[in-house]
Amino acid sequence: MNKIARFILFDILKNKTIILYTVLLFIISWSVLGLESNFTKATLSLLNIVLLVVPLMSVIFSTIYVYNSSQFVELLLSQPVPRSKVWFNIFLGLSTALVLAFLLGCGIPILLYSSIETGMSLIITGCFLSVIFTSLAMLAAIFSRDRAKGIGIAIFLWIFFAIIYDGILLVLIFQFADYPIEGIMATLTAINPIGLSRIFVLLQLDVAAMLGYAGAVFQQVFGSGGGMGISLVILSAWAIVPFVWSLIKFNKKNL
């Protein structure tokens, strides 16, 4: 991590919003895991919170930070620094800060109260979601000069993956209930980073069987070592592809 990324990282870590985010995650995680005697129920409750709060915080904070840093970016570009290096270091600083906030807020209670396999899967999921939605936020910010429009695009991306996408899948399930589409549904669910993250953790809790035949498909496809590897590859692609797209747009954009 070079000087630009370190400066951005330390600047974000001193931000009151990030400090409050970390403290709230810690309080919520400690309360859910420490006060609930049923381990599976507590993990599922925390999982639902992580799948909603972490992407929302990551996408909104990152988008606002990119817009607020426009003058800083212009100053850096006035120096003999490549555009790609500037954009990558902003992404590196933002994603590292949000991952550290998640690890401090949720990681410590998870490691204290959860089993190793389930706890690590939940931590990996939170880290990936932080990076993925930082990447999507930077893509949304580079698409529009208008701050309100850029933040609106970022929030819509979160709403789409967290709520609308599942609604579309439910409509498809009802419309084609008479056909054997469980495998297709499993594939479509895996395309959504939030849905794939949910599956990734649920399989460690052995509750996929409660989902019926679709759960068996999830277990068969994603429960093996190869399936878990595929899940991580897909999540990595979700983190890399939007950032690369935003980098291409940034290199061509007239500031």
Res. 209: pLDDT tops 90 = no
Number of compact structural domains in the chain: 1
Residue with the two structure tokens 């807020």: 105
Interatomic CA distance for residues 193 and 214, integer angstroms: 18
Strongest mean pLDDT among 173-177, 204-208, 245-249: 245-249
Confidence band of 215 (pLDDT split at 50, 70, 90): low
Range of the domain at 190: 3-252
Confidence band of 169 (pLDDT split at 50, 70, 90): confident
DSSP code of 181? -
Closest CA to 204 of 95, 56, 46, 53: 46
Instruction: Note the helical H segments in the chain.
Output: 3-13, 16-35, 39-68, 70-77, 83-102, 108-113, 116-143, 147-159, 165-175, 182-191, 193-205, 213-222, 225-252
Between 219 and 85, residue with greater pLDDT: 85
Q: What is the pLDDT of residues 15-49, one digit of tens each?
A: 899 999 999 999 988 888 877 667 777 888 888 88
